[in-house]
Amino acid sequence: MLDIQTLRNDLAAVAARLATRGYALDTAKFEQLEAERKTIQTRTQELQAKRNALSKQIGVLAGSIARLNATEEHEQADFNILQIEQSKAEAGALGDELKQLETKLPLVLQEMEAFLSVIPNTPHSTVPVGKSEADNLEVRKVGEPTKFSFEVKDHVSIGEGLNGLDFDTATKIAGARFSLLKGPLARMHRALAQFMLDTHTEQHGYTETYVPYLVNAESMRGTGQLPKFEEDLFKVPRQMGEKEEHFYLIPTAEVPVTNMVRDTITPLEKLPLKYVAHTPCFRSEAGSYGRDTRGMIRQHQFDKVELVQIVHPEKSYEMLEELLGHAEIILQKLGLPYRVVKLCTGDMGFSAATTYDIEVWLPAQNTYREISSCSNFEAFQARRMQARFRNAQGKPELLHTLNGSGLAVGRTLVAVLENYQQADGSVKVPEVLRPYMGGMAIICAN
């Protein structure tokens, strides 16, 4: 969420920045809501102040009556009773208008909240301006695209050839966009996650976490998935007394992990918080019909090792570079060629102020495909979550939040299969994974 104060003070500038990412801010609507809010709020508070003053007076008078009677000052007591009646009548007279305003105010505030909560983050000044993927900026390329002396197969053919990948059965069990791994491939999938977790905890200083895979709506709102992107999520009904509410399946560990600091004030000396989590991720993929239908590139369920950092606002860009590096190291250790791309304004996600994508080389597609996305959200999520720290002056201040995949496990498996395939259909096991696979050096058919 953007800071409402900034919108009040600098509406045109905010609108201009949002326009670079293709979002047309309805400034007239904002001004109208703001004017309405102001009128109703000031009038409400004025009436509340009057009512409070009268009630307080009644309290004082009521308290005096017993005392006056005790000292035989009956005349004064009677007068005070009259005063009380008069004040009650006066306060009662405020009732109608006040009640009406007190009903209306939260509605107007909610309307403003609804308006604000669907506005995307403003891009950082260093983000290249552009419309689509085509305008992204390549930052660096690491490693050369793998060379083969034979015709390469894609991961589906390789996996099926090794009897380790079975989409037909997955479809029978669940439906399209699910996968089923068996034998050494299932084990390699697990090995990858373990390897990533160990690297980040042992070498990069992240604390391992195990988190809920189902979260409440408040958490989804905190990181920005709700209210705007509900159709991308899987929803699980849940009876809460009379009301039906919902759990949501997490689309990324970013949601539960970042929400750890929702509604909390973190002491300055605890910063930065660095967490890593390995979780499944669930995405409805609504609106992606026909895209990446073959293989395990785009699934309703996939595993991901996620890095999350909660940092001091002055450090967030420095930490983004560091976090990006942590994700890159995994690819380097696995010996996978990749490139780093800085997303342009038009290609960034809703909550991000800056995003780097890491794209891994996929020989069968003869191209680089996204395997990690590392973003700085600045205070956008922190404001929604009320995630704060106490600054040097002892005052609560919003934190900055960052996250990145380190990495998407399913896609990493795809990349390993394709880049490490051999002419006979077998797949070499990358050196760093062998300790996690009982020393296995090669996966052969049978």
Partner RNA sequence: GGAGAGGUGGCAGAGUGGUCGAAUGUACCUGACUCGAAAUCAGGCGUAGGUGCGAGCCUACCGAGGGUUCGAAUCCCUCCCUCUCCGCCA
For the chain, the helix, strand and coil percentages under 3-state DSSP, each to the nearest 5 = 50, 20, 30
Token pair 């390469």: residue: 152
Q: Is 46 in the site for RNA (CB under 7 A)?
A: yes
Of the residues 237, 241, 290, 439, which one makes contact with RNA according to CB under 7 A:
241
Helix/strand/coil (H/E/C) assignment for every residue in 157-207 = HHHHHCCCECHHHHHHHCCCCCCCECHHHHHHHHHHHHHHHHHHHHHCCCE
Q: How wide is the angle at C-alpha 285 spanned by C-alphas 282 and 290, nearest 5°? A: 140
Q: Is 203 in the site for RNA (CB under 7 A)?
A: no
Q: Is 29 in the site for RNA (CB under 7 A)?
A: no
87 belongs to the catalytic site: no
Residue 392-411 contact track with RNA, rule CB under 7 A, x = bound: --xxx---------------
Select the span of 149-157, 190-198, 239-247, 343-351 touching RNA (CB under 7 A).
Answer: 239-247
Torsion of CA 48, 53, 58, 59, to 10 degrees: 100
Token pair 């070498």: residue: 203
Q: Is 70 in the site for RNA (CB under 7 A)?
A: no
Rounded to a whole number of angstroms, the minimum distance from the CB of residue 105 to RNA is 9
Q: Is 227 in the site for RNA (CB under 7 A)?
A: no
Q: Is 435 in the site for RNA (CB under 7 A)?
A: no
250 touches 213 (CB < 8 A): yes
Select the span of 50-58, 144-152, 296-304, 342-350 touching RNA (CB under 7 A).
Answer: 50-58
Check 283, 383, 384, 388 and give the catalytic one. Answer: 283
Q: Is 67 in the site for RNA (CB under 7 A)?
A: no
356 touches 128 (CB < 8 A): no
Select the span of 86-94, 283-291, 374-382, 434-442 touching RNA (CB under 7 A).
Answer: 86-94
Q: Is 59 in the site for RNA (CB under 7 A)?
A: yes
Torsion of CA 373, 374, 376, 377, to 10 degrees: 30
Six-digit token string for 138: 């390549």
411 belongs to the catalytic site: yes
Q: Is 55 in the site for RNA (CB under 7 A)?
A: yes
373 belongs to the catalytic site: yes
Q: Is 52 in the site for RNA (CB under 7 A)?
A: yes
Select the span of 15-23, 126-134, 145-153, 236-244 touching RNA (CB under 7 A).
Answer: 236-244
Nearer to RNA, 97 or 431 (CB): 97
Nearer to RNA, 96 or 168 (CB): 96
Nearer to RNA, 287 or 394 (CB): 394
Token pair 């293989």: residue: 295
| Exposed / middle / buried, residue 403 (Cβ in 10 Å: 0-12, 13-18, 19+) | buried
The one-character DSSP state at 241 is T
Torsion of CA 9, 343, 221, 104, to 10 degrees: 30
Sign of CA dihedral 432, 275, 393, 375: positive
Rounded to a whole number of angstroms, the minimum distance from the CB of residue 396 to RNA is 5
CA pair distance 376, 81, nearest whole angstrom: 64
Q: Is 85 in the site for RNA (CB under 7 A)?
A: no
Nearer to RNA, 36 or 73 (CB): 36
Six-digit token string for 222: 């905190």
298 belongs to the catalytic site: yes
Q: Is 32 in the site for RNA (CB under 7 A)?
A: no
Q: Is 88 in the site for RNA (CB under 7 A)?
A: yes
Token pair 């942590």: residue: 326
Token pair 């690491």: residue: 142
CA pair distance 281, 294, nearest whole angstrom: 19
Contacts with RNA by CB under 7 A: the residue count is 33
Six-digit token string for 377: 């959200």
Q: Is 83 in the site for RNA (CB under 7 A)?
A: no
Q: Is 290 in the site for RNA (CB under 7 A)?
A: no
Check 316, 373, 375, 405 and give the catalytic one. Answer: 373
The residues annotated with a catalytic role in the active site are 283, 298, 370, 373, 411
| Binding stretches for RNA (CB under 7 A) | 4, 38, 41-42, 44-46, 48-49, 51-56, 58-60, 62-63, 87-88, 91-92, 95, 106, 240-242, 265, 394-396
